[in-house]
Amino acid sequence: METTTSTTKGYRPMEYASEEGRLKIFGFWIFLGAEIVLFSTLFATYFVLVNQTAGGPSGKELFEIKIFAMETFLLLTSSFTCGLAVLAMRKQSKRGYFGWMGVTLLLGLGFLILEIEEFAMLVEMNAGPTRSAFLSAFFTLVGTHGIHVTLGIAWVTGVMIQVWKRGFTPVTSRKIFMTGLYWHFLDVVWIFLFSTIYLLGVA
């Protein structure tokens, strides 16, 4: 593809400029591969236990289409704005980077707030993680994703502070690119969550 030839033929964005940068980005891809496997075990547990409701409520009674549709839209859009932030970094536009990354963080926070409200509502309805095997698996899977989003927000904020202080260097550019990869990956996991947990749950 176009992109590969242009990187091998001399031109490289700053995050790929040093060998260290290239290796760390590749290392991050390996980490994401391990994350895929981590989430697959939680998905497997959920699918095995999905019908074990112990006389309690099932997904059909609990999941609210409005809430998870909103969550999906927020996270999907944040993945897009995060991509624009990385693009702004490549164009050396600080304003663009801080603007789009700021929007990404706000959308991520909005997603988290919706998820926390949903969890609180479920616990209030006596449908917390201790209610049934189905709900234990649900809270573990969706909660693990939620923790990843929380960590992502903290990491992105930290990198933003570094960029504020040091500007775009090969090191900060690499970090920006890696936070971008991580954030897109969170949306990848959510795609499978909203499809196979929520949509399949209410259908």
Interacting residues with another protein (CB under 8 A) = 1-4, 6-7, 11, 13, 16, 22, 25-26, 29-30, 32-37, 39-41, 43-45, 47-48, 65, 69, 72-73, 76-77, 79-80, 82-84, 87, 90-91, 180-181, 184-185, 187-188, 191-192, 194-196, 199-200, 202-203
Q: Which is nearer to another protein, 54 or 203 (CB)?
A: 203
Q: Which is nearer to another protein, 53 or 79 (CB)?
A: 79
Minimum distance from residue 94 beta carbon to another protein (Å): 16
Q: Which is nearer to another protein, 22 or 169 (CB)?
A: 22
Q: Which is nearer to another protein, 83 or 128 (CB)?
A: 83
- Cα-based angle 83, 151, 37 (whole degrees, multiple of 5): 80
| 75: amino acid identity, one letter | L
- Cα-based angle 28, 33, 37 (whole degrees, multiple of 5): 140
Minimum distance from residue 124 beta carbon to another protein (Å): 26
* Whole-number Cα distances in Å, 148 to 93, 155, 195: 28, 10, 19
Q: Which is nearer to another protein, 103 or 188 (CB)?
A: 188
CA–CA gap between residue 23 and residue 167 (Å, rounded):
22
Please list, in sequence order, all residues whose beta carbon lies within 8 angstroms of the beta carbon of residue 71, skipping any fewer than 6 positions away: 111, 114, 115, 190, 194
Using the structure block, give the residue that is written with the tokens 């917390």.
Answer: 128
| 113: amino acid identity, one letter | I
Q: What is the DSSP letter of 10?
A: S
Using the structure block, give the residue that is written with the tokens 């909103």.
Answer: 70
Minimum distance from residue 43 beta carbon to another protein (Å): 5
